[in-house]
Structure 1
Amino acid sequence: MFSGEYRHIHKTRGWVHLEAVGQSFLNDPSVRGVVVSERDITERKRSEAALRKSEELYRLLTENMSDVIWMVDKDFNTVYVSPSVEKMRGYTAAEAMAQSVEDIMTPESLAKMRAGLASRFDSETGAFNPESRAYEMEQIRRDGSTVWTESVVQGLVDAAGGFNGFMGVSRDITDRKAAEAELRESEEKHRALIAGLPDMVVRFDLEGRHLFASDNVEAVAGIPAAAFMGKTHRELGFSEELCRYLEASIRGVTETGKPYESEFSYDGPRGKRVFNWRLMPEHDGRGELRSVLSISRDITEHRRLEQEYERLFQEMLDGFALHEIICDELGAPVDYRFLAVNPAFERMTGLKGEEIVGRTVLEVLPDTEPRWIEVYGGVALSGKPTFFENYSAPLQKHFEVAAYRHAPGQFACIFTDVTERVRAEQEIRQFKTIFDTATMGAAIIDLNGMVTYANRSFVESHGYAMEEVLGKSFRIFHNGEQLAVTDRLFVQVVREGAFPALEVGHCRKDGTVFPMLMTGTLVRDTEGRPKCIASTAIDLSERKVLEEELRQAQKMESVGRLAGGVAHDFNNMLGVILGHAEMAMDQVDPEEPLHADLSEIRKAAERSANLTR
């Protein structure tokens, strides 16, 4: 017997495939031939060719696709896995087929897979459900890392309908899982951000129904955020007036597609509050409006502070003025315009806001020096603040000025009228000049007895240099004996406010003792509290010498007057003697011895008279 296949030309069909089965009877004398039976197998051949082509296509597909096709039997032995497993897990197909499911899946995914398998069996009948299901599994790669896969698994059944394994397609979704994790993290961050914001965030659909509401709406409205979902303000029970306002605002955004911002008041559990409300249209990928995002901020405190600021602006003691800088075509400042002034500015300058606001400084004060326009222009254009003192010749006042940029092209000035202070400082400088050059000593001592000021005369009279005196105790100017007096005077000044002019002993640096005529006065601050002691001191050393010389002169004058009186009386007596002697001489003959005696008397009297001249 023999068989074979061959092609044969058909009259109308062309080439056909035939299968022949023959039996040889050549050795049979009665037949001596071959009996052949032929069957047309053209359709089978075509089917086999189509199957081969399909298998080649399937193999080409499975070997080149990125997804992994696999099949396991009822004992979970891998019977097939496509070559793409090597790209996904790093194992060749042969290596992967040798692995158990424990080698393939992480413990968590294996437990999930087993739970999924158990759910396919009916708990009562034990019947297996082979329907296709999708699972997300984490598989282990050759390098120890893991890859997330999405597997579509189809159950396999035998002829009796019993469980016979699984066939599935697994796709690498690691990037998708990472993106989902990032998205979850981003959503958590945004949710945390929204939860941490003081603003209320709400999203509306085009009909004004709530799609989202942040949790903090409950604190304002007394309604949980979840209760807002799918409802309008009207359905939530808000007042008719507020509903009309909110609905009109949302409708305005949906109709125009433009953002909207306003303020409204709401009387809720926390009392009447003022809110800044911003509405922004949200569009989908095609540019079509799909929702409206709302951000509401409680600005009640801000508005209260604004009111207080306005009250402060009106009542502040310092002058305030807001200006706009004016530049030429080259951008150089040439003038500035008054935009606002407060009442204190008006009091200080005598300029009225209604008369100067809107006008330029050169229109109001034509004599304003150009350098001030340059200074203020620098502040407005550069943003760098400045602080200075300025004398306004037109107003004849001194001002302390702080200037800063309020907005681009604008500057604000805070003025403090320091005219009285400047004049006082000038007077102080004048008095200091007088005291510094005075021959009379002057010193200021704090309540701890330390010298805070001393003029040159005071310092030099004690033989010290200025740096040796300032910051030192006044006790360095007195010895131990003198301190008993000066300590008493110090206490007296503090208690009684002064002590009168008094001669007090002082001590020079070299130890020399000398007298000074001193006064002491307690100086108080503006609140009447003792601040320091002002003292004047005049060195009496030269005066003491002059007084001694005067006393000696007065003594000599007294002696002179006494001697003059004696001489006068003596001369009178000598005149009597001399007169009588001359009269006697006239009566006695010159030859007589008595005449010579009288002559000697006269001579003696004349000599005596000469002694008093």
Structure 2
Amino acid sequence: MSFPDSATDLPAGILTPNECFSFLADAPIGVYLTTPQGRFLYANTALARMLGYASGQELVDSIVDIATQVYIDPAHRQWFLRTLEEQGQIVGQEFCFFKKDGSLVWVSENARKVGDVQDNTLCYHGFCVDVTARKITEEKLQKQEEIYRQLFETMSQGVVYQDGQGRVTLANPAAERILGYTTEQMRGHKSSSPIWEVVDEFGHFLPEADHPAMVALRTRKPVEHFIVGVRSHPQTDYTWISVNATPLFYADTSRPSQVYIIIEDVTAKRLAEMRYHTLFQEMITGFALHEIICDPKGKPVNYRFLDVNPAFESLVGLAKTDVVGQTVLDFFPDIDQSLIENYGHVALTGESMKFEYYLAELEKYFEINAFCPVPGQFACIFLDITKRKKISLILAEQERKYRFLAESIDDVIWISNLDLCFTYVSPSIYKLRGINPEEALLEPMEKSLTAESVQRVQDAAQQLSSKQQSAQDSVLRLELEQYHHNGSTIWVEAVVRPLFDNLGQVNSYLGVTRDISEARALREQLEKAAKAAQAANKAKSEFLANMSHEIRTPLNGIMGMLQLLQMTTLDNEQEKYVQLSLISAERLTRLLADILDLSRVEAGKMELFATEFSIRDLHESVLQLFVIQAQEKSIALRCYVDPAIPEIVVGDEVRIRQILFNLVGNALKFTSSGQIIVSFLSLPPARQEALRILITVEDTGSGISEEGLHRIFQPFSQLDSSYSRTHQGAGLGLAIVRRLVELMDGHIQIESIPGQGTSIHVVLPFDLPGPKQVSETKTPAISETCKSLRILVAEDEPCNQETTVHLVRSLGHEVTLAENGAQVLDLLRQYDFDCILMDIQMPILDGVQATKAIRSGEIKGKSAIPIIALTAYAMPDEREEFLKAGLTDYLSKPILIKELQRVLSQVGGQVAIQEEK
């Protein structure tokens, strides 16, 4: 007699016939013989495959120590041997084994000891069944049970379990809060126990038999939305609760084993529901009664609704009054015929059925329990399981979408561990770096990034690893230089955030990487272009400032001499020539100012200075300035101020005056007859503005063509550019107006009809002044302070020396002349002066240097003397520099005698105050 190839030599006395081994070799379960020392004597094919071997013989030859090579825990093998020696057999014991490839398999094992006549152990004989799938299922069920347990403990509704006699066995924390007792205090008590006082919704004592749990147990049907009042102490108020009671049955019986109670605190709703009776005191969740309809051959083809409960109405979305008496095909004509056949089987045979069904019309999944109450009818209890069914579908669909997204987009999605080694890289890595995901997973970070970028990543990882799960700023953006497969480098933006484990600790990093090489190159180009533009703007500003100085300096001499000439005795013809010369010089001055203003606005250097002023005074100044010109042209100039406009408003008066002068000046220029109307109207405020004013300038002039309207606000634009044009100007006025209006957050609109006139509308925001503070010092009026002053004039240009000295003397003041800043300091040491008129650009020591020397206290007792700059510089940053140097005020060249008088009057007022003190 011989044995199969898979059996080694067996000890004498336990040889098994070949037929037996042949039978065991083909058995579908694992069969083995092992020695007490831990070797296999025999293993059939099923066991070999179970453990990952090709044949039983390979298994026998490969395993030399079952305890360490098969059992994941050698102690289990020791227990196995000890139990067999003590009890002789093991039944249904489960162990975890290693497979040949190192993976694990769970087996259920039956084994017995095989001994000789003296009961000495010869070997062990056993059977194994692979239960891995069941173990996995059990593990999933355990996780689900944990989820349900957490839901049970955290849900806001109270849940109570009562046994078949109505005694409390379990309650969740919400039920404890609602009912006023802990689970231990409630356990063993019925809802009718004296520890509670229970009344029905009408406040009547509720007998035990009518309690929802007892009704559900007795009727074996759910009770829904049963309203009761409960209190645990006579001195407390009732807590009103809605109770749902569902009987739970023993397996394969119709006798309830316990009842499942859901309670909800509806005390807050009780007051609103006092007007209504509870529609149902005993409801069966998701219940419907039907009669089956058969064709002449007895085949079920339809069914009719006989009754439905509120829960059914809620589930299906159909009212009872609409459903009862109608057939299912009336509502769902495309319903699956197999469903009707199942219901027909229940109604005609009396056999109950339980199944799941998807109703496409409602997009819901139902668990349906169908039974036959009387022949030809069937009743259904519906349970909406849509959420449960859809969760798995949603999760699967989300996983598919996310994977598709990760594999489709150009951005690289990746996950790395805390050691910064990739554990996942999306396929788009090939588009980014020319390598596949497998290569990326094996590549060290130091080989994929430049040294500087590696350090940046390490710093970021250290920063992210300390983040808490609730941190809002746990996302970092990094720009990194990365190596491409072809040897070049690319720039990428990596958006990285930490991932957390169940304990809230960082366990990995999730990142999205995007190629920004082109964007970075473009950004660098834009930065270079911006620097070039800044340099060009600076050069333009310097040029304009220099040109302004060079033009204003001789212009100051011209206008000064003309003003002095005006003060002499002139005949009418001479007076005319002087006046025309001054007008031309003033036009040139305004042109310079307009060019500088336009440059400042376009360079973003124009600043607004809000002050308190009167709109009515502003409109008076417009009249005073332009009324003579209007009269000379026989044009009526009218102004209107809305009475609703406050007396004092807050805004940049200088710039608003500039806007008005430009608009009215333009209107006068292009109007030969008729009238010009300037109006100020109050508008409702918008947003956070305190006040809005609509300024309108209307004229009856020549008007503007449609083509002209498109370019009217462009700098240096003329409506008539021919040599024979009738109106002068550089074309800057309206361009500056539009830019000033936009700078003030206002807007401008122009309407014109050629040959009839033009209307320009400007809407500007204003603030209102705050509370007035009473000044302690009274500033004397100009008329009171125009006394003779001792004035030191610093000027190096001979023509301007002559002009300035004579203008000051014409105002009644004493003048001493200095040709540079050094002479100013020498004269100031020797004599007392009330004021210094300081030119800025002078040889040896300029005006700014001289002013700083005076303000520093170099000349004792003279540091506070008023110093007025006489400057041909007009750029705002230069003026700011002059004021910072200590200059009291400044006058722009060419100097107008009215402005000179204003400034000297202010100085005189200050001198008068000092003398009074």
Query: TM-score normalized by structure 2?
Result: 0.28
**Highest Rg: 1 or 2?**
1
Query: TM-score normalized by structure 1?
Result: 0.40
Q: Compare the two structures and name the one with the higher strand fraction.
A: 1
